[in-house]
Amino acid sequence: IDLTARELALGGSRAVLVEFTRGGLPRGATAELRRLSRSGLTPVLAHPERYFGCTLDAVREWRKIGVVIQTDASMLMGRGAPSELAREMLAAGVIDVLASDNHGDARSLASAREWLEAHGADEQVALLTHTNAECVLHDEDPIPVPPLRAGLLDRLKRFFRR
């Protein structure tokens, strides 16, 4: 699909939102993301933690080819395999942007943001919720988000297993 039309870009930038079906990663997903990146676009992959078959290694590979990783903040607060992957991605520092995935409902970044700030992840929160989104919309590379400090991921997991 030709995604080069300016009206398809995010905020007039070179960034385009890419979303796969929940059924799983399509065959050739990495090749297509690479094609988009090589064409001068910045693929912003929406909530990879939801895609059946997605792994931390795949996310790392996509980031190397210029894909911006956008994770649904509510997944950090949830249960199940997608939420576990989202937390692993956060701990590993491979998420570039947090989103609310709000479709006119009450979902927001507030709970995830407040929890992370309360546990000393202020630098990560600023990058994930503001700075990197701004970078993407200005056609700049997102700033790498430092991995969570030791122990914070364990506290996050315990908190959401209650």
pLDDT reading at 1 higher than 70: no
pLDDT reading at 109 higher than 70: yes
Report pLDDT for 147: 86
Mark 75-113 as b/e (b = at least 16 C-beta within 10 Å).
bbbeeeebbebbbbbbbeebbbbbbbbeeeeeeebeebb
For residue 138, name the pLDDT band (cuts at 50, 70, 90): very high
User: Considering the chain, what is the average pLDDT of its residues?
Assistant: 87
Instruction: Decide: 127 and 87 in contact? Cβ < 8 Å.
Output: no
Report pLDDT for 32: 92
Largest Cα–Cα separation, the chain: 47
pLDDT reading at 159 higher than 70: no
pLDDT reading at 104 higher than 70: no
Report pLDDT for 97: 96
Q: Where are the beta strands (DSSP E) in the chain?
A: 15-18, 42-46, 68-72, 97-99
Report pLDDT for 103: 66
Report which residue type is found at 119: H
d(CA 82, CA 138): 30
Q: Which domains does the chain have, with CATH numbers?
A: 6-160 (3.20.20.140)
Angle among Cα 11, 107, 154 to the nearest 5 degrees reads 105
d(CA 149, CA 79): 22
